[in-house]
Chain A
Amino acid sequence: MKRVSTPSQVTNQEVLDLLSLVRKVVWHYVRRGSIPQRESDDVVMSIAEKFLDRKNLIDARFKGEAKKTTYYIAVMHRMCCEVIRAQHRNWQLVDDSVDTRMECMASDDYETEKQMMLDQEVNRLKHLLAFTQDDRAKLILFFKVYFDLQLHEQDVQLYAKNRTKEVMLLLLDRTDRSKDSIFDRLSKTVNVVEKKQIKKDAVRMWFNSQLERLLTRMNMHDGSRHTKESLSVLLEMMFRP
């Protein structure tokens, strides 16, 4: 394992603090299996070394718009992603006889770790839904209808505004639970609220593109492999009272 060479102006305490931040970033990916546990110390050291080498430049670019710790972690996170991209193939050449993720988890309380990861995924989903801006209320309502989750009047109200009662009647009619029927009711909802004349196929295409985009974002950075099914479970957990 390499030792971190420190620029003279960085104190020992600062190095320790930075190492702690780097380790936080690296272990996020170790837990998710993107970085093998056996490589974690080397990855931590290489990121720390690179960060310290460029610290003056990194500090110079900081404008004070964000908290400095968050900014440092954002920089370290990009460095970590670079290492993963560069080394991923090499790491895969070594066939671990033990599942390091399980080994890592077994050292702590397995159930706590599992719950923590689930909570993290739910929170990530919550954040990603927040980015949908103007479509947020519409998308959440559509998810609830599509995945057959409990519907509250407030969910409808955020999207339908003064047409809430009308839309509630449309959406609470669950006699036919086929996807075809669901998209039919959703298209009627859109037509009522947005005063449009669109067909269920158009709604289906819009909804599927939103779903795909959300899955892409969920799976983009940390080796997650979410599907429509796992997303429905996360949504259920997210909306659980």
Chain B
Amino acid sequence: MIHLTEEEIAQCSDALQDGTFDRLPKAIRTHLAECDACASEVSVLTELMAVPAAKTKHVRPLHHYAMAGAAALLAAVLLFFWQKSTTQHEAVQWAEMDPTVQTPTEPIPVLDTVQPPKEKPVKRYAQNVELEKLRRNFEGSYRSSVIDVLTPSIDTLRSKDRLVWNNPNGLPLYVEILDHTNHQVQWIETSASYVDINCLPSGLYYWKLFNVEYDLLYCGKIIVQPSNH
């Protein structure tokens, strides 16, 4: 069955609103009597047209989006400094209480140097749709009761920084760092409660935490700022 075009659907909707449905061409009326899809579409469209603009969410002009963006950036910077101080403070407190945690004097797993990507700076911060969905699944929740990730789901880091979680039993874990194109940048084995990230070029990265069975325990996002920021 050939369905009605968008304009014919709109024509029917207009006719219903104006009370002139019976004046529509016979072919269109017959089609609506027979075709569930088009009939349903017309009914939804007619109701959409009847919804007053005030009942929908307010649309901000584009310059408001720019202002909102600037405000969000400022908030993100403030949040970054606040979260970093909180996370580090919590990590130190926890380390003092738990003898299984590696102290900073113990050997720390360090990621190898990565060659800087030859991309435009803006592209390096492009989100990966699949990894973004995965990250959202883990946002605010921890699949494992043994490992609690302390690093925020979205963390803004400098080129040298640390991913932190809670691993009181010293379980062997794997950390995979992926760039925004879902290519592996680093793979590291550790039984500590953190890994240090060194020499990551600026850009958007995702990181995954696996247990020894390769069960995915967590997925987070890392935004590495340019070193001159």
Contact = CB atoms under 8 A, between A and B. Distances in A.
B25 to A, nearest CB: 10
Nearest to B129: A90
A227 interface: no
Given A20-B53, A23-B56, A93-B137, A65 B47 contact: no
Contacts of A131: 29, 32-33, 39, 42
Given A63-B7, A66-B13, A124 B43 contact: yes
Contacts of B51: 24, 28, 120
Contacts of A218: 40, 43
B87 interface: no
Interface in A1-44: 3, 12, 15-16, 19-20, 23-25, 27-28, 40
Contacts, number: 122
Contacts of A73: 10, 45, 48-49
Interface centre among B6, B45, B46, B137 (most CB of A within 10 A): B6
B7 A124 contact: no
A167 B18 CA distance: 33
Contacts of B49: 69-70, 73
A147 interface: no
A74 B33 contact: no
Given A16-B59, A93-B137, A123 B50 contact: yes
A217 B33 CA distance: 11
A97 B16 CA distance: 40
Contacts of B137: 93-94
B59 A67 contact: no
Contacts of A78: 6, 41
Contact-size category for B: 35 or more
B47 A66 contact: no
B225 interface: no
B93 interface: no
Interface string B33-65: 100110111111111111101011101011001
B10 A217 contact: no
Contacts of B53: 20, 24
Instruction: Give the interface SS of chain A, mostly helix, strand, loop or mixed.
Output: helix
A187 to B, nearest CB: 23
A16 B37 CA distance: 30
A220 B177 CA distance: 44
Contacts of A28: 44, 47-48, 51
A123 B47 contact: yes
B146 to A, nearest CB: 22
A66 B10 contact: yes
A77 interface: yes
Nearest to A62: B7
Contact of B10 (A15, A24, A70, A133): A70
Nearest to B21: A130
Interface in A105-159: 116, 120, 123-124, 127-128, 130-133
A75 B40 contact: no
Nearest to A128: B43
Given A23-B57, A73-B10, A217-B43, A16 B62 contact: yes
Interface of A: 3, 12, 15-16, 19-20, 23-25, 27-28, 40, 61-63, 65-67, 69-71, 73-75, 77-78, 90, 93-94, 97, 116, 120, 123-124, 127-128, 130-133, 213, 216-218, 220-222
27 contacts: A20-B56, A20-B59, A23-B59, A28-B47, A40-B57, A61-B6, A62-B7, A65-B10, A66-B11, A67-B14, A70-B45, A73-B10, A73-B48, A74-B9, A77-B41, A93-B137, A94-B136, A94-B137, A123-B46, A124-B43, A127-B42, A127-B46, A130-B21, A131-B33, A220-B37, A220-B40, A221-B40
Given A28-B47, A123-B50, 19 more contacts: A3-B65, A15-B62, A28-B44, A63-B7, A65-B11, A66-B7, A66-B11, A67-B14, A70-B10, A74-B6, A93-B133, A120-B47, A127-B16, A127-B46, A127-B47, A128-B39, A128-B40, A131-B39, A222-B44
